[in-house]
Amino acid sequence: MSNQLSDGQILKELKSRLSKLLEEEKAALKEKEIRDASIQKTKIAIEAFSNADTIEILETPQLQQAKEEIEFVYPKDKTWQERIKAYMKFRDKVLTIAQIVEGVKEYETEYTEDKLHAAISNIVSTMVKNHLVRTYKPAIRMKGYYYGNPLWFENDELKEEYKPDLKEKLMW
């Protein structure tokens, strides 16, 4: 019995590795696009605060176009925790379980919405227990919690830029 790999097996492994590297490169390029858009927003904000009498930040056509071009790359080959963290990072604000389900259901077609909701709820609960995400409960009386990256909190308070759009929640 020989432990040597055939040329065909080596070639198959190399092709598989190349495929994974190309997928990683694609995800990295998408992350770069997101970062570039964030840099552009920050520059616009700095300019607005530096040169204007008003603190209102105006959206330029270039910024709007950059926002529209950003696509979410769903990491289907990763763990559930990594998928959820990736979606939260993409949305860049705290989210409810229902919002996470809504955002990822198109990528998880093998699950019914109820099963997906149950799975994500269970995983997020585990993530909270392991301090991988934190909960946020708005001051107004509202059912449920929002979940987000622990870095989005300062002194146990959610930073303003990561707070949810409560008008959207109240319209449900």
Domains in the chain: boundaries: 1-71, 73-172
Mean pLDDT of 55-78: 66
Give dist(CA 59, CA 41) in Å, integer: 9
pLDDT over threshold 50, residue 54: no
Summary mean pLDDT of the chain: 81
- Give residue 130's pLDDT band: very low, low, confident or very high (50, 70, 90): very high
pTM here is 0.59
CATH domain 73-172 topology: Arc Repressor Mutant, subunit A (1.10.10)
Mean of the pLDDT values across residues 44-49?
A: 69
- Taking residues 126-152, what's their average pLDDT? 89
Give pLDDT, residue 36.
74
The band of 67, judged by pLDDT with boundaries at 50, 70 and 90, is: low
User: How confident is residue 59, by pLDDT bands cut at 50, 70 and 90?
Assistant: low
